[in-house]
Amino acid sequence: EEPPRHVIFILATTEAHKLPDTIISRCQTFVFKKPGVEILKKYVLQTAKKEGFVIDEPSANLVAMLGEGSFRDTLGILQKVIGLSADKRVSREEIEAITGAPKEQHVYDLLAALLAKKSDLALNVIQKLCGEGRDPRVFIKMALVTIRQAMILRYAPEQAANIKSETGDSGFLRLEEAARHENGDRLPAILKEFLSVYDEMDQAYLPQLPLEIATVKICLQ
């Protein structure tokens, strides 16, 4: 009840809602949030530089995204990539090969097919993805990031410089195509549909099934 003045108790929990009010009222509360992709990207760039490796911003952005809001997991992925890199320059292709992340091209091809309402092309991209043994869960996260970037580029073009730093020149050109597409006004609806896919994927018997259903649904709208 009355600890010495020099004693400090630290209570850490991920389920604060389960704590009784009598405990909460006696605590000074600090809420810790997961680091965002931008923070983790800077962490990747700084760490790679300290280790004597060169990694560009789009590649660092991919490592940060794969880290899923964890400094530890992000560092673990970077260590794996650095350890298996052929030289001192880490490329996106190396990261994709080492981590099993879906190829960037697949994401842009799927988005182009969705905007063109060509379900056959879109489903072929998903089939190719699964045939290569890529994780559909990682793919949908990459797709969410890409569709969001295209949407922002369409409705807030003044943010183009920031988006270009995340994607690189070739990726930015594909995003511009999507943002300027005649069906570009459908980007928010596509993004919303894919958010539902992300929530459903962990419960699906076939991980790619929610993505396939959403793809057909989007193309029929």
Asked whether the beta carbons of 57 and 91 are under 8 A apart, the reply is no
Q: Which of 184, 182, 185, 107 is nearest to 142 (CA)?
A: 107
**Angle between the 160-180 and 104-115 helix axes, to the nearest 10 degrees?**
40
Confidence of residue 193 (pLDDT cuts 50, 70, 90): very high
The amino acid occupying position 188 is P
pLDDT at position 177 is: 92
Mean pLDDT (whole number) for 202-217: 88
Confidence of residue 205 (pLDDT cuts 50, 70, 90): confident
pLDDT at position 85 is: 86
pLDDT at position 1 is: 64
pLDDT at position 203 is: 81
Mean pLDDT of the chain: 89
Mean pLDDT (whole number) for 135-152: 90
Residue 2 has pLDDT above 90, yes or no: no
Residues sharing a CB contact under 8 Å with residue 151, sequence separation 6 or more, in sequence order = 179, 187, 188, 191
User: Among the listed ranges 61-65, 153-157, 178-182, 190-194, which one has the minimum average pLDDT value?
Assistant: 61-65
pTM for the structure as a whole: 0.74
Residue 175 has pLDDT above 90, yes or no: yes
Distances (CA, A) of 153 to 163, 166, 183: 8, 13, 14
pLDDT at position 136 is: 84
pLDDT tens, 3-12? 888 988 899 9
Residue 55, strand partner residues? 90
